[in-house]
């Protein structure tokens, strides 16, 4: 399964997730994204989803295709974005700075044993999956949380529409 040549630069893309105490706006999980500028022109958005029972899930399997093709909608944890909107997936338009970084945030419920998946979506309509990052999150507490360093985006050669309805 060979990825498209322009996607080969995604291999070097990395994500860093930092958890902090919830702010007055309710932001519980801060996400900082770092990506190669050579890939930035292909990425239209980033979609964030969270699943319970994280240790029972295999990241390698979840990264082979769009998450929405592999799990039932009710398995997705309801998240709240910085704008107050809630959904089973949060989508952030790609707005990478010159340094290849982007700030995002989301509220996730206090709990244990999550898996956080960040999918890079193409600019095309309908979007297609360019790659994803799968990360185990042991717990989210009501107080300050330790930062989580996310795994690099894994290339995906599967054509699928990753769109998850709210």
Nearest to 73 by CA among 153, 165, 143, 159: 165
Q: Taking the CA of residue 122 as centre, how many other CA atoms within 13 Å lie in the half-sphere pointing to its CB?
A: 19
Higher model confidence: residue 6 or residue 53?
Answer: 53
pLDDT of residue 117: 93
Where does the pLDDT of residue 38 fall: very low under 50, low under 70, confident under 90, or very high at 90 and above? low
State the Cα–Cα distance between residues 35 and 128, nearest whole angstrom.
Answer: 18
Specify the fold of 5-155.
Answer: Immunoglobulin-like (2.60.40)
pLDDT exceeds 70 at position 127: yes
Q: Where does residue 152 rank: exposed (0-12), middle (13-18), buried (19+ CB within 10 A)? A: middle
- HEC profile for 58-80? CHHHHCCCCHHHCCCHHHECCEE
Higher model confidence: residue 22 or residue 28?
Answer: 28
pLDDT exceeds 50 at position 133: yes
pLDDT exceeds 50 at position 11: no
> Which of 5-14, 21-30, 45-54, 90-99 is predicted most confidently?
45-54
- Domain residue spans in the chain? 5-155
Structure tokens at 156: 């995906």
pLDDT of residue 98: 73
Average pLDDT of the residues of the chain: 77
Residue with tokens 């930062």: 147
pLDDT exceeds 50 at position 52: yes
State the Cα–Cα distance between residues 128 and 159, nearest whole angstrom.
Answer: 6
Dump pLDDT digits (tens) for 78-126. 999 888 999 999 999 988 777 666 777 788 899 999 999 989 899 988 9
């Amino acid at each position: 399964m060979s990825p498209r040549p322009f996607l080969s630069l995604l291999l070097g893309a990395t994500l860093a997730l930092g958890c902090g105490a919830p702010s007055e706006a309710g932001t519980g999980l801060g996400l900082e994204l770092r990506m190669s500028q050579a890939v930035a022109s292909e990425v239209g958005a980033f979609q964030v989803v969270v699943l319970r029972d994280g240790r029972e899930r295999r990241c390698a399997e979840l990264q082979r295709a769009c998450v929405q093709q592999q799990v039932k909608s009710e398995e997705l944890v309801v998240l709240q974005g910085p704008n107050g909107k809630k959904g089973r997936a949060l989508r952030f338009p790609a707005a990478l700075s010159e340094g290849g970084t982007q700030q995002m945030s989301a509220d996730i419920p206090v709990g244990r044993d999550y898996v956080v998946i960040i999918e890079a979506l193409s600019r095309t309509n309908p979007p297609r999956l360019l790659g994803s990052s799968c990360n185990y999150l042991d717990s989210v507490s009501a107080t300050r949380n330790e930062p989580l360093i996310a795994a690099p985006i894994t290339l995906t050669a599967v054509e699928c529409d990753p769109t998850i309805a709210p």
